[in-house]
Structure 1
Amino acid sequence: MHTLKFLFVGFLLLVFNASCSNETTSDEDITENILDTSKVFEAFDVAYGDAERQKFDIYLPANRTLATKTVILIHGGGWTSGSKADMNAFKLLITQQFSDIAVVNMNYRLANANNKPYPMQIEDITNLVAFLRENKTKYSISEDIGFIGISAGAHLSLLWSYAFDTNNKVDMVCSIVGPTNLTDPEYLNNTNPELQNLLDLFGIDPTTEFLEEVSPFHQVTATAPPTILFYGGKDPLIPISQGTDLRDKLQSVNVTHEFTLYDNAGHGWTGLELLDTWSKLNIFMETHL
Protein backbone atom coordinates (compact mmCIF):
# COMPACT_ATOMS: atom_id res chain seq x y z
CA MET A 1 0.00 0.00 0.00
CA HIS A 2 2.86 2.35 -0.74
CA THR A 3 1.96 5.36 -2.86
CA LEU A 4 1.17 4.08 -6.32
CA LYS A 5 3.63 5.64 -8.78
CA PHE A 6 1.86 5.49 -12.12
CA LEU A 7 4.27 6.45 -14.87
CA PHE A 8 2.06 8.93 -16.68
CA VAL A 9 4.87 11.20 -17.90
CA GLY A 10 5.27 9.93 -21.45
CA PHE A 11 1.54 9.58 -21.86
CA LEU A 12 0.93 13.10 -20.63
CA LEU A 13 3.47 14.54 -23.05
CA LEU A 14 1.46 13.04 -25.89
CA VAL A 15 -1.88 14.21 -24.59
CA PHE A 16 -1.15 17.66 -23.19
CA ASN A 17 0.61 19.75 -25.81
CA ALA A 18 -1.54 22.82 -25.45
CA SER A 19 -1.57 25.02 -22.37
CA CYS A 20 -4.68 26.75 -21.10
CA SER A 21 -5.04 30.18 -19.61
CA ASN A 22 -5.95 29.70 -15.96
CA GLU A 23 -6.75 32.09 -13.18
CA THR A 24 -4.63 31.06 -10.19
CA THR A 25 -4.85 32.43 -6.69
CA SER A 26 -3.91 31.83 -3.08
CA ASP A 27 -5.95 30.55 -0.14
CA GLU A 28 -6.40 34.13 1.06
CA ASP A 29 -7.72 35.28 -2.32
CA ILE A 30 -10.18 32.42 -2.63
CA THR A 31 -11.87 33.29 0.62
CA GLU A 32 -12.26 36.98 -0.22
CA ASN A 33 -13.01 37.22 -3.94
CA ILE A 34 -16.09 36.38 -5.95
CA LEU A 35 -14.96 33.90 -8.58
CA ASP A 36 -15.56 34.55 -12.27
CA THR A 37 -17.42 31.48 -13.54
CA SER A 38 -16.53 32.24 -17.16
CA LYS A 39 -12.86 31.42 -16.53
CA VAL A 40 -10.91 28.36 -15.51
CA PHE A 41 -9.83 28.75 -11.89
CA GLU A 42 -7.17 26.95 -9.83
CA ALA A 43 -6.09 27.37 -6.22
CA PHE A 44 -3.53 25.43 -4.21
CA ASP A 45 -3.22 24.44 -0.55
CA VAL A 46 -6.67 25.67 0.39
CA ALA A 47 -7.28 24.87 4.07
CA TYR A 48 -10.32 22.82 5.08
CA GLY A 49 -9.12 22.44 8.70
CA ASP A 50 -6.49 23.66 11.13
CA ALA A 51 -3.94 20.86 10.70
CA GLU A 52 -1.04 21.28 8.29
CA ARG A 53 -2.18 18.33 6.19
CA GLN A 54 -5.79 19.48 5.93
CA LYS A 55 -5.37 21.22 2.60
CA PHE A 56 -6.47 20.67 -0.97
CA ASP A 57 -5.92 21.91 -4.50
CA ILE A 58 -8.97 22.81 -6.57
CA TYR A 59 -9.60 23.15 -10.29
CA LEU A 60 -12.81 24.76 -11.51
CA PRO A 61 -13.73 24.61 -15.21
CA ALA A 62 -14.84 27.61 -17.22
CA ASN A 63 -18.58 28.19 -17.62
CA ARG A 64 -19.37 26.16 -14.53
CA THR A 65 -22.73 26.35 -12.80
CA LEU A 66 -24.35 25.11 -9.62
CA ALA A 67 -24.87 21.84 -11.51
CA THR A 68 -21.12 21.26 -11.96
CA LYS A 69 -19.99 18.06 -10.26
CA THR A 70 -16.68 17.51 -8.45
CA VAL A 71 -14.25 14.60 -8.48
CA ILE A 72 -12.22 14.22 -5.27
CA LEU A 73 -8.81 12.56 -5.63
CA ILE A 74 -7.35 10.66 -2.65
CA HIS A 75 -3.72 9.56 -2.70
CA GLY A 76 -2.26 6.34 -1.36
CA GLY A 77 0.69 5.66 0.90
CA GLY A 78 -0.36 2.99 3.36
CA TRP A 79 -2.29 5.56 5.41
CA THR A 80 1.08 6.84 6.70
CA SER A 81 2.66 8.65 3.74
CA GLY A 82 1.98 10.10 0.31
CA SER A 83 0.78 13.45 -0.94
CA LYS A 84 -1.83 15.01 -3.18
CA ALA A 85 1.03 15.66 -5.61
CA ASP A 86 0.96 11.92 -6.33
CA MET A 87 -2.47 12.41 -7.96
CA ASN A 88 -1.52 15.32 -10.23
CA ALA A 89 -1.49 13.10 -13.32
CA PHE A 90 -5.11 12.15 -12.70
CA LYS A 91 -5.94 15.82 -12.21
CA LEU A 92 -4.40 16.65 -15.58
CA LEU A 93 -6.18 13.83 -17.37
CA ILE A 94 -9.57 14.77 -15.95
CA THR A 95 -9.27 18.48 -16.63
CA GLN A 96 -8.19 17.84 -20.21
CA GLN A 97 -10.87 15.24 -20.94
CA PHE A 98 -13.83 16.77 -19.10
CA SER A 99 -14.74 20.40 -19.65
CA ASP A 100 -17.56 20.38 -17.11
CA ILE A 101 -16.09 18.68 -14.02
CA ALA A 102 -14.35 20.30 -11.06
CA VAL A 103 -11.42 18.49 -9.44
CA VAL A 104 -10.35 18.56 -5.80
CA ASN A 105 -7.04 16.90 -4.91
CA MET A 106 -6.80 16.47 -1.16
CA ASN A 107 -4.21 15.84 1.49
CA TYR A 108 -5.28 14.24 4.77
CA ARG A 109 -3.67 13.72 8.15
CA LEU A 110 -1.26 10.80 8.11
CA ALA A 111 -1.42 7.94 10.57
CA ASN A 112 1.34 7.02 13.00
CA ALA A 113 1.73 5.18 16.30
CA ASN A 114 -0.29 7.83 18.11
CA ASN A 115 -2.84 8.64 15.40
CA LYS A 116 -4.82 5.79 13.88
CA PRO A 117 -6.11 6.01 10.30
CA TYR A 118 -9.68 5.51 11.45
CA PRO A 119 -11.66 7.56 12.15
CA MET A 120 -9.16 10.42 11.63
CA GLN A 121 -8.85 10.17 7.85
CA ILE A 122 -12.56 9.55 7.31
CA GLU A 123 -13.22 12.67 9.40
CA ASP A 124 -10.91 14.61 7.08
CA ILE A 125 -12.96 13.56 4.06
CA THR A 126 -16.14 14.53 5.89
CA ASN A 127 -14.69 17.94 6.72
CA LEU A 128 -13.58 18.49 3.14
CA VAL A 129 -16.97 17.57 1.73
CA ALA A 130 -18.63 19.91 4.25
CA PHE A 131 -16.24 22.71 3.22
CA LEU A 132 -17.14 22.23 -0.44
CA ARG A 133 -20.83 22.22 0.41
CA GLU A 134 -20.52 25.42 2.42
CA ASN A 135 -18.67 27.10 -0.45
CA LYS A 136 -20.68 25.71 -3.35
CA THR A 137 -22.08 29.10 -4.28
CA LYS A 138 -18.65 30.74 -4.26
CA TYR A 139 -17.16 27.94 -6.35
CA SER A 140 -20.30 27.49 -8.49
CA ILE A 141 -20.44 23.72 -8.02
CA SER A 142 -23.12 21.27 -7.00
CA GLU A 143 -23.02 19.01 -3.98
CA ASP A 144 -22.69 15.94 -6.21
CA ILE A 145 -19.26 14.32 -6.05
CA GLY A 146 -17.24 11.36 -7.18
CA PHE A 147 -14.10 9.74 -5.77
CA ILE A 148 -10.96 8.33 -7.33
CA GLY A 149 -8.61 6.72 -4.83
CA ILE A 150 -5.41 4.71 -5.06
CA SER A 151 -4.35 2.05 -2.53
CA ALA A 152 -5.06 3.40 0.98
CA GLY A 153 -6.81 6.34 -0.69
CA ALA A 154 -9.06 3.88 -2.49
CA HIS A 155 -9.93 2.21 0.81
CA LEU A 156 -10.89 5.61 2.25
CA SER A 157 -12.86 6.52 -0.88
CA LEU A 158 -14.88 3.31 -0.77
CA LEU A 159 -15.46 3.42 2.98
CA TRP A 160 -16.64 7.02 2.98
CA SER A 161 -18.87 6.48 -0.04
CA TYR A 162 -20.50 3.37 1.42
CA ALA A 163 -20.80 4.30 5.09
CA PHE A 164 -20.53 8.08 5.52
CA ASP A 165 -22.31 9.63 2.55
CA THR A 166 -25.33 10.51 4.68
CA ASN A 167 -26.70 12.93 2.08
CA ASN A 168 -26.38 10.48 -0.83
CA LYS A 169 -24.26 12.86 -2.89
CA VAL A 170 -21.65 10.39 -4.19
CA ASP A 171 -22.39 9.54 -7.82
CA MET A 172 -19.45 7.19 -8.42
CA VAL A 173 -16.35 5.83 -6.71
CA CYS A 174 -13.19 4.32 -8.17
CA SER A 175 -10.80 2.00 -6.34
CA ILE A 176 -7.38 1.32 -7.81
CA VAL A 177 -5.71 -1.44 -5.74
CA GLY A 178 -7.65 -0.45 -2.62
CA PRO A 179 -8.03 -2.69 0.46
CA THR A 180 -11.68 -3.58 0.93
CA ASN A 181 -11.95 -6.21 3.68
CA LEU A 182 -9.72 -6.31 6.75
CA THR A 183 -11.41 -9.52 7.89
CA ASP A 184 -10.21 -11.35 4.78
CA PRO A 185 -8.36 -14.55 5.82
CA GLU A 186 -5.65 -13.52 3.35
CA TYR A 187 -4.99 -10.61 5.72
CA LEU A 188 -5.70 -12.27 9.05
CA ASN A 189 -3.37 -15.18 8.24
CA ASN A 190 -0.73 -13.31 6.27
CA THR A 191 3.02 -13.80 6.86
CA ASN A 192 4.18 -10.55 5.25
CA PRO A 193 5.83 -8.30 7.91
CA GLU A 194 5.45 -5.15 5.80
CA LEU A 195 1.77 -5.81 5.25
CA GLN A 196 1.21 -6.67 8.91
CA ASN A 197 2.82 -3.41 10.03
CA LEU A 198 0.27 -1.54 7.95
CA LEU A 199 -2.66 -3.59 9.20
CA ASP A 200 -1.49 -3.04 12.79
CA LEU A 201 -2.20 0.66 12.29
CA PHE A 202 -5.83 -0.26 12.93
CA GLY A 203 -4.87 -1.81 16.26
CA ILE A 204 -3.19 -4.91 17.66
CA ASP A 205 -5.72 -7.73 17.89
CA PRO A 206 -8.72 -5.56 16.97
CA THR A 207 -12.19 -7.02 17.31
CA THR A 208 -13.98 -8.47 14.33
CA GLU A 209 -16.67 -5.83 14.77
CA PHE A 210 -14.10 -3.05 14.43
CA LEU A 211 -12.48 -4.61 11.37
CA GLU A 212 -15.90 -4.85 9.74
CA GLU A 213 -16.57 -1.22 10.61
CA VAL A 214 -13.47 -0.11 8.71
CA SER A 215 -14.01 -2.47 5.75
CA PRO A 216 -15.90 -1.24 2.68
CA PHE A 217 -16.86 -4.86 1.93
CA HIS A 218 -18.88 -5.00 5.15
CA GLN A 219 -20.39 -1.53 4.71
CA VAL A 220 -21.67 -1.77 1.15
CA THR A 221 -25.46 -1.80 0.74
CA ALA A 222 -27.93 -1.65 -2.11
CA THR A 223 -27.78 2.16 -1.97
CA ALA A 224 -24.03 2.29 -2.68
CA PRO A 225 -22.95 4.43 -5.64
CA PRO A 226 -21.73 2.96 -8.94
CA THR A 227 -18.28 1.50 -8.29
CA ILE A 228 -15.37 0.72 -10.60
CA LEU A 229 -12.52 -1.50 -9.38
CA PHE A 230 -9.00 -2.16 -10.71
CA TYR A 231 -6.63 -4.75 -9.22
CA GLY A 232 -3.36 -6.52 -9.99
CA GLY A 233 -3.10 -10.29 -10.00
CA LYS A 234 0.41 -10.26 -8.52
CA ASP A 235 0.00 -7.49 -5.97
CA PRO A 236 2.05 -8.38 -2.86
CA LEU A 237 -0.05 -6.16 -0.60
CA ILE A 238 -3.59 -6.47 -1.95
CA PRO A 239 -4.77 -10.08 -2.43
CA ILE A 240 -6.99 -10.69 -5.45
CA SER A 241 -9.80 -11.52 -3.02
CA GLN A 242 -9.90 -7.86 -1.94
CA GLY A 243 -11.23 -7.03 -5.39
CA THR A 244 -13.19 -10.12 -6.31
CA ASP A 245 -15.04 -10.37 -2.99
CA LEU A 246 -16.20 -6.76 -3.23
CA ARG A 247 -17.17 -7.33 -6.85
CA ASP A 248 -19.32 -10.28 -5.80
CA LYS A 249 -20.86 -8.33 -2.92
CA LEU A 250 -21.77 -5.45 -5.23
CA GLN A 251 -23.31 -7.96 -7.62
CA SER A 252 -25.34 -9.55 -4.82
CA VAL A 253 -26.93 -6.23 -3.81
CA ASN A 254 -27.43 -5.07 -7.41
CA VAL A 255 -25.06 -2.10 -7.30
CA THR A 256 -23.79 -0.93 -10.68
CA HIS A 257 -20.12 -1.84 -10.91
CA GLU A 258 -17.20 -2.76 -13.13
CA PHE A 259 -14.19 -4.88 -12.24
CA THR A 260 -10.86 -5.28 -14.00
CA LEU A 261 -8.07 -7.62 -12.95
CA TYR A 262 -4.69 -7.30 -14.66
CA ASP A 263 -3.36 -10.82 -14.17
CA ASN A 264 0.35 -10.00 -14.33
CA ALA A 265 0.28 -6.59 -12.64
CA GLY A 266 1.41 -5.81 -9.12
CA HIS A 267 0.61 -2.81 -6.94
CA GLY A 268 0.37 -0.57 -9.98
CA TRP A 269 0.98 -0.83 -13.71
CA THR A 270 2.08 1.08 -16.80
CA GLY A 271 1.81 0.88 -20.58
CA LEU A 272 -1.23 -0.65 -22.23
CA GLU A 273 -2.75 -1.69 -18.91
CA LEU A 274 -2.57 1.90 -17.69
CA LEU A 275 -4.19 3.15 -20.90
CA ASP A 276 -6.91 0.56 -20.41
CA THR A 277 -7.51 1.79 -16.86
CA TRP A 278 -7.94 5.38 -17.98
CA SER A 279 -10.14 4.39 -20.93
CA LYS A 280 -12.52 2.43 -18.71
CA LEU A 281 -12.50 5.06 -15.97
CA ASN A 282 -13.14 7.79 -18.53
CA ILE A 283 -16.24 6.03 -19.83
CA PHE A 284 -17.44 5.24 -16.31
CA MET A 285 -17.17 8.90 -15.32
CA GLU A 286 -18.99 10.01 -18.47
CA THR A 287 -21.79 7.60 -17.64
CA HIS A 288 -22.21 8.11 -13.89
CA LEU A 289 -20.84 11.53 -12.94
Structure 2
Amino acid sequence: MHKVLLSSAIFLVLATSVLAAKPEGKPTVYKTVGDRELTLYITKPADWKKTDSRPAIVFFHGGGWVGGAPGQFTEHSKHLAEHGMVCVQVEYRLLDRKSDDPPVTCTEDALDAMKWVRSHAKELGIDPDRIATGGGSAGGHLAAYLGTVDQGKQDVSTKPNAMVLFNPVYDNGPGGWGTSRVKDRYKEFSPAHNISADDPPAIVFLGSKDNLIPVATAERFQEAMKKAGVDSELRVYEGQGHGFFNHGKDKNRWYNETVAEMDKFLTSLGWISADSK
Protein backbone atom coordinates (compact mmCIF):
# COMPACT_ATOMS: atom_id res chain seq x y z
CA MET A 1 0.00 0.00 0.00
CA HIS A 2 2.84 2.40 0.82
CA LYS A 3 4.42 1.84 -2.62
CA VAL A 4 1.13 2.55 -4.40
CA LEU A 5 0.55 5.63 -2.25
CA LEU A 6 4.05 6.92 -2.91
CA SER A 7 3.96 6.38 -6.68
CA SER A 8 0.56 8.07 -6.93
CA ALA A 9 1.80 11.01 -4.90
CA ILE A 10 4.95 11.36 -7.02
CA PHE A 11 2.84 11.40 -10.19
CA LEU A 12 0.65 14.13 -8.74
CA VAL A 13 3.67 16.24 -7.84
CA LEU A 14 5.11 15.90 -11.35
CA ALA A 15 1.78 16.58 -13.04
CA THR A 16 0.96 19.67 -11.04
CA SER A 17 4.20 21.38 -10.11
CA VAL A 18 6.77 20.76 -12.84
CA LEU A 19 5.71 23.92 -14.66
CA ALA A 20 4.88 25.99 -11.58
CA ALA A 21 6.10 29.56 -11.58
CA LYS A 22 7.37 31.43 -8.57
CA PRO A 23 4.58 32.94 -6.50
CA GLU A 24 3.80 36.51 -7.44
CA GLY A 25 2.47 39.19 -5.14
CA LYS A 26 3.03 40.48 -1.64
CA PRO A 27 4.09 37.70 0.81
CA THR A 28 2.11 37.83 4.04
CA VAL A 29 2.27 35.51 7.05
CA TYR A 30 -1.18 34.20 7.89
CA LYS A 31 -0.24 31.61 10.49
CA THR A 32 2.66 30.42 12.63
CA VAL A 33 3.02 26.77 13.63
CA GLY A 34 5.85 26.26 16.10
CA ASP A 35 8.77 28.14 14.57
CA ARG A 36 7.41 27.91 11.00
CA GLU A 37 5.65 30.82 9.36
CA LEU A 38 3.09 30.00 6.68
CA THR A 39 2.78 32.57 3.92
CA LEU A 40 0.23 33.62 1.37
CA TYR A 41 0.96 35.72 -1.71
CA ILE A 42 -1.43 38.51 -2.68
CA THR A 43 -1.73 39.79 -6.25
CA LYS A 44 -3.72 43.00 -6.63
CA PRO A 45 -5.00 44.90 -9.67
CA ALA A 46 -2.85 47.79 -10.83
CA ASP A 47 -5.55 50.29 -9.85
CA TRP A 48 -6.26 48.69 -6.46
CA LYS A 49 -7.22 50.95 -3.56
CA LYS A 50 -7.73 50.05 0.08
CA THR A 51 -11.25 51.43 -0.10
CA ASP A 52 -12.19 48.94 -2.84
CA SER A 53 -14.65 46.10 -2.43
CA ARG A 54 -13.43 43.70 -5.11
CA PRO A 55 -14.08 40.01 -5.72
CA ALA A 56 -11.23 37.71 -4.73
CA ILE A 57 -10.02 34.15 -5.23
CA VAL A 58 -7.86 32.02 -2.94
CA PHE A 59 -5.74 29.46 -4.82
CA PHE A 60 -4.29 26.19 -3.47
CA HIS A 61 -1.54 24.38 -5.39
CA GLY A 62 -1.55 20.70 -6.25
CA GLY A 63 0.95 17.98 -5.43
CA GLY A 64 -0.90 15.11 -3.79
CA TRP A 65 -0.80 16.83 -0.37
CA VAL A 66 2.90 15.91 -0.28
CA GLY A 67 4.52 18.26 -2.80
CA GLY A 68 4.14 21.40 -4.85
CA ALA A 69 4.37 25.01 -3.74
CA PRO A 70 2.62 28.35 -4.22
CA GLY A 71 3.20 29.55 -7.76
CA GLN A 72 1.13 27.06 -9.74
CA PHE A 73 -1.55 29.71 -10.17
CA THR A 74 0.68 32.74 -10.65
CA GLU A 75 -0.42 33.27 -14.26
CA HIS A 76 -4.06 32.78 -13.30
CA SER A 77 -3.58 35.34 -10.54
CA LYS A 78 -1.99 37.88 -12.86
CA HIS A 79 -4.75 37.34 -15.40
CA LEU A 80 -7.59 37.76 -12.90
CA ALA A 81 -5.91 40.79 -11.33
CA GLU A 82 -6.06 42.38 -14.78
CA HIS A 83 -9.81 41.75 -14.64
CA GLY A 84 -10.09 43.48 -11.28
CA MET A 85 -9.83 40.62 -8.78
CA VAL A 86 -7.57 40.28 -5.76
CA CYS A 87 -5.82 36.89 -5.93
CA VAL A 88 -4.21 34.90 -3.14
CA GLN A 89 -1.90 31.87 -3.38
CA VAL A 90 -1.54 29.83 -0.20
CA GLU A 91 1.40 27.97 1.31
CA TYR A 92 0.23 25.03 3.41
CA ARG A 93 1.98 22.24 5.29
CA LEU A 94 2.67 19.11 3.28
CA LEU A 95 2.36 15.51 4.42
CA ASP A 96 5.25 13.08 4.75
CA ARG A 97 5.39 11.06 1.52
CA LYS A 98 6.37 7.93 3.46
CA SER A 99 3.36 8.09 5.77
CA ASP A 100 -0.30 7.35 5.17
CA ASP A 101 -1.57 10.14 7.40
CA PRO A 102 -4.83 11.88 6.42
CA PRO A 103 -4.52 15.50 5.22
CA VAL A 104 -5.47 17.06 8.55
CA THR A 105 -2.73 19.70 8.51
CA CYS A 106 -3.53 20.59 4.89
CA THR A 107 -7.21 21.18 5.63
CA GLU A 108 -6.39 23.04 8.85
CA ASP A 109 -4.13 25.42 6.97
CA ALA A 110 -6.69 25.89 4.19
CA LEU A 111 -9.32 26.81 6.76
CA ASP A 112 -6.98 29.23 8.54
CA ALA A 113 -5.93 30.85 5.26
CA MET A 114 -9.53 31.39 4.22
CA LYS A 115 -10.40 32.74 7.65
CA TRP A 116 -7.45 35.14 7.46
CA VAL A 117 -8.44 36.42 4.03
CA ARG A 118 -12.08 37.01 4.95
CA SER A 119 -11.26 38.58 8.32
CA HIS A 120 -8.83 40.97 6.55
CA ALA A 121 -11.24 41.76 3.72
CA LYS A 122 -11.44 45.46 4.50
CA GLU A 123 -7.69 46.05 4.42
CA LEU A 124 -7.36 43.87 1.31
CA GLY A 125 -10.00 45.93 -0.46
CA ILE A 126 -12.19 42.88 -1.13
CA ASP A 127 -15.86 42.04 -0.72
CA PRO A 128 -16.16 39.34 2.00
CA ASP A 129 -19.23 37.98 0.19
CA ARG A 130 -17.39 37.49 -3.11
CA ILE A 131 -14.45 35.25 -2.27
CA ALA A 132 -13.89 32.15 -4.40
CA THR A 133 -11.57 29.24 -3.82
CA GLY A 134 -9.56 27.71 -6.63
CA GLY A 135 -7.05 24.93 -6.97
CA GLY A 136 -5.72 22.00 -8.91
CA SER A 137 -5.60 18.31 -7.98
CA ALA A 138 -4.97 18.13 -4.21
CA GLY A 139 -5.29 21.92 -4.17
CA GLY A 140 -8.63 21.46 -5.91
CA HIS A 141 -9.55 19.12 -3.08
CA LEU A 142 -8.77 21.86 -0.54
CA ALA A 143 -10.73 24.44 -2.52
CA ALA A 144 -13.73 22.09 -2.72
CA TYR A 145 -13.31 21.01 0.91
CA LEU A 146 -13.81 24.61 2.02
CA GLY A 147 -16.94 24.87 -0.09
CA THR A 148 -18.61 21.64 0.99
CA VAL A 149 -17.49 20.24 4.35
CA ASP A 150 -19.52 21.78 7.18
CA GLN A 151 -17.35 23.49 9.78
CA GLY A 152 -20.21 24.38 12.11
CA LYS A 153 -20.83 27.84 13.47
CA GLN A 154 -17.79 30.11 13.20
CA ASP A 155 -17.01 33.72 14.04
CA VAL A 156 -15.59 34.11 10.52
CA SER A 157 -16.97 31.86 7.80
CA THR A 158 -14.46 29.79 5.83
CA LYS A 159 -16.99 28.87 3.15
CA PRO A 160 -16.25 30.40 -0.26
CA ASN A 161 -18.86 32.02 -2.48
CA ALA A 162 -17.73 30.14 -5.60
CA MET A 163 -15.32 27.34 -6.53
CA VAL A 164 -12.98 27.08 -9.53
CA LEU A 165 -11.67 23.51 -9.59
CA PHE A 166 -9.00 22.12 -11.91
CA ASN A 167 -8.95 18.28 -11.97
CA PRO A 168 -9.75 18.21 -8.24
CA VAL A 169 -9.32 14.96 -6.31
CA TYR A 170 -12.62 15.67 -4.57
CA ASP A 171 -13.94 12.14 -4.14
CA ASN A 172 -11.93 10.54 -1.32
CA GLY A 173 -14.44 7.81 -0.57
CA PRO A 174 -14.04 4.08 -1.28
CA GLY A 175 -12.43 3.72 -4.69
CA GLY A 176 -11.66 7.43 -4.94
CA TRP A 177 -8.28 9.11 -4.81
CA GLY A 178 -6.75 9.46 -1.33
CA THR A 179 -8.70 6.60 0.23
CA SER A 180 -5.46 5.00 1.43
CA ARG A 181 -4.91 8.09 3.59
CA VAL A 182 -8.38 8.94 4.80
CA LYS A 183 -9.56 5.32 5.14
CA ASP A 184 -12.87 5.13 7.02
CA ARG A 185 -12.64 8.83 7.87
CA TYR A 186 -13.41 9.83 4.29
CA LYS A 187 -16.62 11.65 5.24
CA GLU A 188 -14.46 14.14 7.18
CA PHE A 189 -12.47 15.07 4.09
CA SER A 190 -14.32 14.13 0.90
CA PRO A 191 -16.17 17.02 -0.80
CA ALA A 192 -18.19 14.55 -2.86
CA HIS A 193 -19.65 13.15 0.36
CA ASN A 194 -20.55 16.51 1.88
CA ILE A 195 -22.62 18.26 -0.79
CA SER A 196 -25.51 20.35 0.52
CA ALA A 197 -27.85 23.11 -0.60
CA ASP A 198 -25.72 25.87 0.94
CA ASP A 199 -22.65 25.04 -1.13
CA PRO A 200 -21.36 27.67 -3.59
CA PRO A 201 -21.60 27.41 -7.38
CA ALA A 202 -18.71 25.60 -9.03
CA ILE A 203 -16.95 25.04 -12.31
CA VAL A 204 -14.78 21.94 -12.80
CA PHE A 205 -12.14 21.35 -15.49
CA LEU A 206 -11.09 17.77 -16.29
CA GLY A 207 -9.24 15.88 -19.01
CA SER A 208 -11.05 12.88 -20.49
CA LYS A 209 -7.90 10.77 -19.99
CA ASP A 210 -7.14 11.82 -16.42
CA ASN A 211 -5.89 8.59 -14.84
CA LEU A 212 -6.70 9.75 -11.31
CA ILE A 213 -10.18 11.22 -11.72
CA PRO A 214 -12.57 9.38 -14.04
CA VAL A 215 -15.04 11.53 -15.94
CA ALA A 216 -17.78 9.54 -14.22
CA THR A 217 -16.58 10.87 -10.85
CA ALA A 218 -16.92 14.45 -12.07
CA GLU A 219 -20.34 13.72 -13.55
CA ARG A 220 -21.54 12.25 -10.24
CA PHE A 221 -20.29 15.33 -8.40
CA GLN A 222 -22.08 17.62 -10.83
CA GLU A 223 -25.29 15.59 -10.59
CA ALA A 224 -25.19 15.64 -6.77
CA MET A 225 -24.60 19.40 -6.75
CA LYS A 226 -27.52 20.01 -9.09
CA LYS A 227 -29.73 17.66 -7.07
CA ALA A 228 -28.93 19.82 -4.03
CA GLY A 229 -29.97 22.89 -6.01
CA VAL A 230 -26.43 24.20 -6.54
CA ASP A 231 -25.18 25.44 -9.90
CA SER A 232 -22.33 23.23 -11.10
CA GLU A 233 -20.57 23.36 -14.45
CA LEU A 234 -18.28 20.69 -15.88
CA ARG A 235 -15.84 21.13 -18.74
CA VAL A 236 -14.21 17.94 -20.09
CA TYR A 237 -11.28 18.24 -22.50
CA GLU A 238 -10.89 15.34 -24.91
CA GLY A 239 -7.66 13.38 -24.74
CA GLN A 240 -6.15 15.38 -21.90
CA GLY A 241 -4.55 13.97 -18.76
CA HIS A 242 -3.92 15.19 -15.25
CA GLY A 243 -2.47 18.69 -15.00
CA PHE A 244 -3.30 19.52 -18.63
CA PHE A 245 -4.44 23.05 -17.71
CA ASN A 246 -1.12 24.30 -16.32
CA HIS A 247 0.44 27.39 -17.85
CA GLY A 248 3.29 26.47 -20.19
CA LYS A 249 1.90 23.14 -21.40
CA ASP A 250 1.08 22.55 -25.08
CA LYS A 251 1.95 26.15 -25.95
CA ASN A 252 -0.72 27.25 -23.45
CA ARG A 253 -3.57 25.87 -25.54
CA TRP A 254 -5.40 24.32 -22.59
CA TYR A 255 -4.43 27.06 -20.18
CA ASN A 256 -6.01 29.59 -22.53
CA GLU A 257 -9.12 27.49 -23.11
CA THR A 258 -9.74 26.82 -19.43
CA VAL A 259 -9.02 30.42 -18.46
CA ALA A 260 -11.58 31.59 -21.03
CA GLU A 261 -14.18 29.29 -19.46
CA MET A 262 -13.17 30.44 -15.97
CA ASP A 263 -13.73 34.02 -17.09
CA LYS A 264 -17.20 33.18 -18.42
CA PHE A 265 -18.08 31.51 -15.13
CA LEU A 266 -16.93 34.49 -13.05
CA THR A 267 -18.69 36.84 -15.47
CA SER A 268 -21.92 34.88 -14.98
CA LEU A 269 -21.62 35.61 -11.26
CA GLY A 270 -21.19 39.30 -12.00
CA TRP A 271 -17.67 39.34 -10.53
CA ILE A 272 -15.73 40.33 -13.64
CA SER A 273 -16.34 41.39 -17.22
CA ALA A 274 -14.75 38.83 -19.55
CA ASP A 275 -14.49 41.42 -22.31
CA SER A 276 -12.47 43.95 -20.36
CA LYS A 277 -9.22 44.17 -18.44
Alignment of 1:12-27 (within 5 A): none
Given residue 153 of structure 1, which amino acid in structure 2 is its aligned partner?
A: G
Count of residues paired in the alignment: 240
How many Å separate the matches in 2 of 1:278 and 1:7? 17
Deviation string for 1:204-255 (max 9, x for gaps)?
xx22xx1122111111111110100111111122222221110111121121
1:201 to 2:201 alignment: no
CA 1:42–1:261 in 2, change beyond 3 Å: closer, same or farther? closer
How many Å separate the matches in 1 of 2:100 and 2:254? 36
1:91 to 2:77 alignment: yes
CA 1:247–1:116 in 2, change beyond 3 Å: closer, same or farther? same
Match of 2:30 in 1: 48
Pick the aligned partner of 2:51 from 65, 69, 80: 65
With the length of structure 2 as denominator, give the TM-score of the two structures.
Answer: 0.77
Alignment of 1:184-195 (within 5 A): 184-185=174-175, 187=176
Pick the aligned partner of 1:147 from 133, 147, 154: 133
Structure 1 position 280, deviation (Å) = 0.7
CA 1:177–1:159 in 2, change beyond 3 Å: closer, same or farther? same
List gaps (5 residues or longer) in structure 1: 10-40, 188-194
Match of 2:186 in 1: 211
How many Å separate the matches in 2 of 1:216 and 1:53? 28
How many Å separate the matches in 2 of 1:232 and 1:137? 38
Structure 1 position 65, deviation (Å) = 3.2
Structure 1 position 180, deviation (Å) = 1.9
Match of 2:267 in 1: 286
Which secondary structure does the structure 2 equivalent of 1:273 belong to?
Answer: helix
For the Cα contact (< 8 Å) 2:143–2:165, is it kept in 1? Answer: yes
Structure 1 position 199, deviation (Å) = 4.3
For the Cα contact (< 8 Å) 1:66–1:136, is it kept in 2? Answer: no
Match of 1:276 in 2: 257
Which secondary structure does the structure 2 equivalent of 1:47 belong to?
Answer: strand
1:116 to 2:101 alignment: yes
For the Cα contact (< 8 Å) 2:19–2:72, is it kept in 1? Answer: no
Bigger Rg, which one: 1
For the Cα contact (< 8 Å) 1:78–1:151, is it kept in 2? Answer: yes
Match of 1:131 in 2: 116
For the Cα contact (< 8 Å) 2:62–2:68, is it kept in 1? Answer: yes
Given residue 201 of structure 1, which amino acid in structure 2 is its aligned partner?
A: R
Larger CA deviation: 136-145 vs 79-88 = 136-145
Given residue 104 of structure 1, which amino acid in structure 2 is its aligned partner?
A: V
Which secondary structure does the structure 1 equivalent of 2:62 belong to?
Answer: coil
For the Cα contact (< 8 Å) 1:184–1:242, is it kept in 2? Answer: no
How many Å separate the matches in 1 of 2:229 and 2:164? 17
Given residue 119 of structure 1, which amino acid in structure 2 is its aligned partner?
A: V
Structure 1 position 42, deviation (Å) = 4.3
Match of 2:164 in 1: 174
Provide the alpha-carbon RMSD of the alignment. Answer: 2.6
1:4 to 2:16 alignment: yes
Which secondary structure does the structure 1 equivalent of 2:241 belong to?
Answer: coil
How many Å separate the matches in 2 of 1:163 and 1:8? 28
How many Å separate the matches in 2 of 1:222 and 1:6? 37
With the length of structure 1 as denominator, give the TM-score of the two structures.
Answer: 0.74
- Overall identity of the aligned pairs, in %: 22
